[in-house]
Amino acid sequence: MAWLILTLSGVLEAVWASALSRSQGFTRLVPSLIFVVAMVFSMAGLAFAMRDLPPGTSYTVWVGIGAVLTVAYAIVTGAESASLIKILLMLGIVACVIGLKLITH
Within 10 A of 77 (CB to CB), how many other CB atoms are there?
10
pLDDT tens for residues 11-53?
999 999 999 999 999 999 999 999 999 999 999 999 999 999 9
Q: Which domain holds residue 76?
A: 2-103
From its phi and psi, is residue 78 left (phi > 0), alpha (psi between -120 and 50) or beta?
A: left
Distances (CA, A) of 8 to 15, 23, 82: 11, 22, 25
Provide CB contacts within 8 A for 43, sequence distance 6+.
Answer: 9
The pLDDT value given to residue 104: 80
| High-pLDDT (> 70) share of the chain, % | 99
Q: How many independent structural domains does the chain possess?
A: 1
Note whether 2 and 57 are within 8 A (CB).
no
